[in-house]
């Protein structure tokens, strides 16, 4: 594959990567007591051949948690634990960003010491919370006060500072998939009448304040953001996502970030008004910086979208779960392991660090 763009280095203003294959953020629910351990060290270091690893979402505070056994980035103990992961990846000459996460209304009091989840507005999600006690209905969340919004912005900035101390090469702000930032962006979940709700610029204010706080803390060169302009998961809805994300992405284009990470839709959106089906193709012209695209790509489709110039990087999720040596398999055109969905969120090493590495018989 000597003519492969996917396998070629990426040298942008802020990134110097050995290839254009990124490992997408993947929640795996194996971090006991919200701490990474030896399994995570092995899991990530096995995948260090990726041009860039983006870790599973790491909550920026105890109020940001919404799933069992996910690793935080807000305590001293968590920072020290992550250092072992970043050291292991760097020893293999890998690059690794941590994804900064707040789930907002997609939480449950079981994760929050009995408190209600925070959200832009008191609008309940109809989805179920996955807990150790099974799937539970989510409550009506608490609409955030101005003070709670400002605290959350500071939490993201502090988490970014913690990430750099932990040895990460940068951070990815999670603005996608129906979580807190996405809830502020979309008019289906944001009914505020203050400066954080109403028209598109006001609904984007929370996201922009977080991005500015993070970049002022660690620099634009270490800051990326993930958005899902075609996302309708976790009960998220906007009446005009084409205009909403067109505005936001043009604003982000002015900020000189490390990258913008976009998700293609999980399903056909043609029945919904003002939607975009081909995300990278539609938004590429609005964003001149490094653009990463995700969702359902195989090697051939990833090569094609890079060849066409609609993206600079492609991130892979499930393929990296089942193929820790994905980069090498692409390089030698080896067969791929199938993934086992039953072990995506289970406990222990099965389906986590036991997928086989390809060994050629030649």
Nearest to residue 100, comparing CAs of 213, 233, 245, 230?
A: 213
In a domain, 183, yes or no: yes
For residue 91, pLDDT over 60 is answered with yes
For residue 101, pLDDT over 80 is answered with yes
End-to-end CA distance of the chain: 18
In a domain, 3, yes or no: no
Provide the residue range defining the domain that includes 254.
10-343
Residue 27 banded pLDDT, cuts 50, 70, 90: very high
Q: What are phi and psi of 10, to 5 degrees?
A: -120, 120
> For 223-276, how does the pLDDT look when each residue is reduced to its tens digit (9 = 90+)?
999 999 998 889 999 999 999 999 999 999 999 999 999 999 988 888 888 999
**Mean pLDDT value of segment 178-195:** 98
CA–CA gap between residue 337 and residue 356 (Å, rounded): 8
> For 321-332, how does the pLDDT look when each residue is reduced to its tens digit (9 = 90+)?
999 999 999 999
**Mean pLDDT value of segment 327-354:** 97
In a domain, 246, yes or no: yes
For residue 285, pLDDT over 90 is answered with yes
Alpha carbon of 112 to those of 42, 65, 101, 116: distances in Å? 30, 7, 15, 7
In a domain, 357, yes or no: no
**Mean pLDDT value of segment 42-51:** 98
Bridge partner residues of 74 (DSSP)? none
Q: Which residues are catalytic?
A: 179
CATH of the domain at 15: 3.20.20.70
Alpha carbon of 196 to those of 121, 143, 200, 208, 248: distances in Å? 10, 12, 9, 11, 14
Share of the chain above pLDDT 90, in %: 95
- Per-residue confidence (pLDDT) for residue 266, from 0 to 100: 86
**Mean pLDDT value of segment 77-102:** 98
In a domain, 5, yes or no: no
In a domain, 358, yes or no: no
- Per-residue confidence (pLDDT) for residue 362, from 0 to 100: 46
Strand, coil or helix: what is 293? strand
- Per-residue confidence (pLDDT) for residue 361, from 0 to 100: 56
In a domain, 348, yes or no: no
- Per-residue confidence (pLDDT) for residue 360, from 0 to 100: 72
For residue 211, pLDDT over 60 is answered with yes
Mean pLDDT of the chain: 96
- Per-residue confidence (pLDDT) for residue 270, from 0 to 100: 84
For residue 119, pLDDT over 90 is answered with yes
Q: Where are the alpha helices (DSSP H) in the chain?
A: 38-45, 76-91, 146-165, 180-185, 200-203, 205-218, 241-253, 279-283, 299-307, 318-322, 326-332
- Per-residue confidence (pLDDT) for residue 2, from 0 to 100: 58
Looking at residue 285, what DSSP letter applies? G
Number of structural domains, the chain?
1
- Considering the entire predicted model, what is its pTM? 0.97
**Mean pLDDT value of segment 88-112:** 98
In a domain, 360, yes or no: no
């Amino acid at each position: 594959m000597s003519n492969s763009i996917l396998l070629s280095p990426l040298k942008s203003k802020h990134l110097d990567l050995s290839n254009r294959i990124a490992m997408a953020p993947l929640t795996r629910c194996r971090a006991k007591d919200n701490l990474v351990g030896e399994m995570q060290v092995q899991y990530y270091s096995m995948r260090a051949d990726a041009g860039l690893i983006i870790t599973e979402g790491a909550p920026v505070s105890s109020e940001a948690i919404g799933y069992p056994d996910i690793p935080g980035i807000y305590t001293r103990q968590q920072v020290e634990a992550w250092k072992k992961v970043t050291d292991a990846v760097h020893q293999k000459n890998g690059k690794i960003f941590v994804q900064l996460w707040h789930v907002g209304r997609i939480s449950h009091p079981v994760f929050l010491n009995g408190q209600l989840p925070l959200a832009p507005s008191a609008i309940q999600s109809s989805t179920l919370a996955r807990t150790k006690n099974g799937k539970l209905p989510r409550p009506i969340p608490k609409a955030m006060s101005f003070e709670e919004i400002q605290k959350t912005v500071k939490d993201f900035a502090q988490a970014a500072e913690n990430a750099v101390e932990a040895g990460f090469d940068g951070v990815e702000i999670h603005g996608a998939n129906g979580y807190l930032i996405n809830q502020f962006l979309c008019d289906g979940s944001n009914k505020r009448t203050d400066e954080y709700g109403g028209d598109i610029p006001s609904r984007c204010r929370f996201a922009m304040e977080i991005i500015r706080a993070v970049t002022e803390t660690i620099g634009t060169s270490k800051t990326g953001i993930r958005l899902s302009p075609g996302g309708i998961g976790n009960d998220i809805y906007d009446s005009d996502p084409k205009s909403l994300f067109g505005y936001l992405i043009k604003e982000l284009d002015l900020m000189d970030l490390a990258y913008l990470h976009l998700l293609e839709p999980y399903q056909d959106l043609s029945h919904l008004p003002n939607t975009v089906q081909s995300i990278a193709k539609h938004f590429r012209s609005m964003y001149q910086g490094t653009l990463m695209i995700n969702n359902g790509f195989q090697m051939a489709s990833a090569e094609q979208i890079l060849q066409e110039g609609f993206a600079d990087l492609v991130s892979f999720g499930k393929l990296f779960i089942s193929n820790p040596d994905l980069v090498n398999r692409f390089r030698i055109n080896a067969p791929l392991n199938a993934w086992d969905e039953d072990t995506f969120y289970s406990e222990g090493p099965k389906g986590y660090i036991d997928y086989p590495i390809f060994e050629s018989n030649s």
